[in-house]
Structure 1
Amino acid sequence: MTRLMALALMLIGGAAFVYLWKLGEKGQSAAHWPVTSGTIVESRLDVRPHPGGDGQREDYLPQLRYRYSVGGQIHESSIRRYPNPGAMQSREQAEAVLARYPHGAVVRVYYNPERPQVACLEPGEHWTAWAGKALTLIVAAAGLVLLLKGND
C-alpha cells in the first residue's frame, strides 16, 4: 500500500509539474508574440464563498473578456495571463485588476501567431506558476522518500 501511495504521489506531482511548466512557458512565450489592439467587453467582479470555509470568507474573481481581430478574424478571450491567476482573497486586489481593464477600454492583446485564438493581456509567467511548480516538486519528492523508505 505504501509503495502504491508513493508511486501515486510521484506521478501526480510529476504530471502537475509538467502541466504548470507548459503554462509558464506559454506565459514567457507571450512576451514575444505579436500585439494587436482589443476591447474589453466584460469587466466584472465575481464573488464566491471560499471553498471549504465557514461561510464567512469569500473569494473574488475578476472576470474579464476581451475581443480582438487578427487577419480580419474576430476572436474573444478571457485569459489575463498564463497561468490565469484565478480567484483572490482580497477584494481590493481584484478591484485593482478590474480598474486596469474597465468595460470598453482599448487594450494590448498578445496573440499566438500560430493560433491567433490563443491570447493574453499580460505576458510573462505569473508567480503562482513558480509556487505551484515548487509545491508539485515537494509532492513528487515526498513520494520518492516514501518509496525509498518502503524499500528499507
Structure 2
Amino acid sequence: MKRLLLGVALLVFGGLLAFGGGRMVYRARASEHWPVARGSVLSSKVETLRSRRAVSFRPHVRYSYTVGAEGYTSETIAFGALDTGNVQEANDYVRRFPAGAPVELRYSPEDPSLACIECGQAGMADYVVTVGGGALMLFAALGLVDVLGSQLRARRRQRTLAPRGEAPHQATRG
C-alpha cells in the first residue's frame, strides 16, 4: 500500500512540475504574438535572494500600462527565470529599465493583466522543470503499473492455491 501511495504522490508531483514548467514555456512562446502596448516603468531594482547554499540576484521591474480604458501594473519581465549569480548582470539588466522610462510591452488579449517586457523567452530552467516533471510522471506511472501488476498476480496465485469451496487463508502477523 505504501508503494502505491508513493507512486501516486510522485505522479501528482511530476504532473504539477510538468504543468508549471510547461505553462511558462507556453506563455513565453505565445507572448511573442500578443498585442503591443506602451507603458511606463514605475520602479526598477535588483532583489537579493539568499538560500543556505547560494546567493542569487533577480532584476525586478514594475511597470504600468493601459489597454482600452483600463490601467494595469505588472512585474513580469519575461516568463523565463532571470535569476543570476552575478550581481553585475542583474544590475545591467535593471539599468535598461530605469524608473520613469517608457517601455514597450506585450499583453495577453484574453487577460490584459498578463503582460511581459521581454516576450518570447523561456528560460532553460523552465524546460528542465517541464521535462523533469514529465520524466517523473513516466517513471511513477511505470512503477504504479508494476505495483498493481504484482498485486494482481499475487491475488491470482492465491485463488489457484486455495482448495475449491474454501476462501484463501490470509497470512497473519504476530
Answer yes or no: same fold by TM over 0.5.
yes
Shift of the alpha carbon at 1:148?
A: 4.5
Q: Which residue of 1 aligns with 2:104?
A: 108
Q: Which residue of 2 aligns with 1:146?
A: 143
| Residue of structure 1 equivalent to 2:49 | 48
Aligned twin of 2:92: 96
Deviation per CA, 1:81-103: give whole Å up to 9, x if none. Answer: 224x1532221221222122222
1:10 counterpart residue number:
11
What is the one-letter code of the residue matched to 1:94?
A
Asked if 1:132 is matched to 2:129, the reply is yes
Could you tell me how far apart the structure 2 residues matched to 1:11 and 1:95 are?
38
Task: Return the index of the structure with the highest Cα Rg.
Answer: 2
Unaligned runs of 5+ in 2: 151-174
Equivalence map 1:24-39=2 (5 Å): 24-39=25-40
Residue in structure 1 matched with residue 171 of structure 2 by the alignment: none
Establish whether residue 67 from structure 1 lines up as the match of residue 64 from structure 2.
Answer: yes
Letter aligned with residue 59 of structure 1: S
Taking structure 1 as the reference length, the TM-score comes to 0.84
Q: Name the SS for the 2:127 alignment partner.
A: helix
How many residues are matched? 147
Aligned Cα RMSD in Å? 1.9
Q: Note the C-alpha offset of 1:141.
A: 2.8
1:130 match: secondary structure: helix
Secondary structure in structure 2 of the residue aligned to 1:61: strand
Pick one of 105, 119, 123 that aligns with 2:119. Answer: 123
- Where relative contact order (Cα < 8 A, 6+ residues apart) is larger, the structure is 1
**Equivalents in 2 of 1:18, 1:47: separation in Å?**
27
SS in 1 for 2:95: helix
Percent sequence identity is 22
Question: TM-score under structure 2 normalisation?
Answer: 0.74
Distance 1:124 1:10 in 2: 30
Q: How far is 1:37 from its partner?
A: 0.9
**In the TM superposition, what is the alpha-carbon distance from 1:105 to its structure 2 partner?**
1.9
**One-letter identity of the residue aligned with 1:62:** P
